[in-house]
Structure 1
Amino acid sequence: MKLKDFLYFNRSDRNIVIFFLTLLVVAGTLVSYLGCETDTPLALAPDSLPTADSARPSNRRAATYYSDQGGYYRQDDVRRPERFAFDPNTADSSQLLRLGLRPWQVRSIYRYRAKGGIYRQPSDFARLYGLTQKEYRELEPYIRIGADYQPAADRYATHHEARRDSLKPTYPAKLQLSQTIDLNTADTALLKRVPGIGSYFAREIAHYRQRLGGFYSADQLLEIDDFPEKALSYFVIHDKPAKIAVNRLTLNQLKRHPYINYYQAKAITDYRRLRGPLKSLADLRLLKDFTPEDMERLSHYVEF
């Protein structure tokens, strides 16, 4: 039998053979194409070429490719450390990571703070485990310790002189000989400007004035124990003292006035009970509890 007899196919067989040959060619082409794409270094891949967007400034380092016996692999992008002011006592994890610290260092900082640890000065941050001298030198200018975390001794040392000066007593300028103040309206600060009057006598004047209802004469100040007589010339009186309704007050209310004692108050209430309301101080002159001096002083403070 001749060779051409073996190669002879009918039409249907020939179509099947052509189909399988075409399938083999397509499969071979795909295998060849995929194999070439796998062997191509990543650095030469079309999508790794520089573009307009990749040329913009970024805080990430450019990707680096390494070869190993003809193969290539790509290192993950590494973020460049940023430099900005931070307080290690309050900085959160995202800020610490942006500074270039490793995650395990950030966890160490969080554990230290959770236990009550405080960074009181920049040099305390140098004790962070794994931090190199180079890294600390780069971070040190940006460390800002908040006032709440600084040693209290520093604040005391800073303000000690100012506080000590503020504790020094200050004395008001005294009045000149030609100057006077109103005895019934002056407050304690103004009273202390009178020569010879300090805090003690200023308080005594204000207290006695309140009990009386006001002064009718500066000489009444001499009723205060050891009051300096030389100070009287600096006082004037423009307003009359307040008066009490002698016919309406109870015994206890009457005896609260400095010029009415218990026996005088009882004499007044007895008179009102037995004889009716007082019409004038003349009604009291017949009572043994009142002297002419008492009548003179009361005349400035009672009304009927």
Structure 2
Amino acid sequence: MNQKFKEYFGISRQEYRGFIVLFILLGLIYAAPYIYERFFFKPLEIKIENIKPALSQIDSYKNIVDDNQEEFHKPVLFKFNPNHLPVEDWIKLGLSEKQALSIKKYEAKGGKFYKKEDVKKMYAISPVMYQRLEPYIDIPENKTKPYNTYEKKEAHPKKTLVIVDVNNADSLQLLNIKGIGPAFASRIIKYRNRLGGFIRKEQLMEVYGLDSVKYAQIENQILIDKEKITPININTAEFADIKRFPYLSYKQMNAIIAYRKQHGAYKSITDLNKIHILNPEIISKIAPYIQL
């Protein structure tokens, strides 16, 4: 048992000496800072008499800098017109370069000072600064415009009341009707082409967007020439000829053509009553446009 213990935990004489040396070195390393501070370190002694000259020089320099800064920022007040005032003059008045440039940007975008209070509205001008500048602001009266006024510009020339035949007029002539602009003029012509012409004024209310209010506005400025109607010959027309017509559905158009092909040409408008999907109201609406 003792033999095995010695094999695992026993050390030689040489190893024992090595441990001793190692412990000594560790002790020296640990004690080195205390030894240095005790026997070798000498604290630096600073005497106030030695640094007084340097402190006086620093104070003198600080006073010089402060004096220069105060003189640099000290405003030079003079009478001025804020409109198109150079950046340098704004700086002389006490503004920073950044503040002066913000005012110039305002002018570059079309801004203008019409009266003293306009200067106060600038973000770059504080209330205190405005109080200081206000007595020196000089805006010549002969160069100002009345404040908050503008010249009214009409979007369209004023129209005089005229009478226009909507079945003959082109888009430019329709624009002479007071209340009709380019959009309505274009819609009226498109719908007129689909119909083949207007037979009564009230049909204008079938144009998209032209309600009873707009119709009342233009009613006295229009007339209808029924002679300009383009009729539909139902004895020769094919589907392509009548598909644009707004009063008939595709099914009703096909029925009119199919009846003709089956029973022969129409003798009168009353023959349309024989087509069961055409009621009297529809026939009454399309009758003025039918040609036999």
Q: If the length of structure 2 is used for normalisation, what is the TM-score?
A: 0.43
Q: Which of the pair is proportionally richer in helix?
A: 2
Structure with larger RCO (C-alpha < 8 A, sep 6+): 2
Q: If the length of structure 1 is used for normalisation, what is the TM-score?
A: 0.41
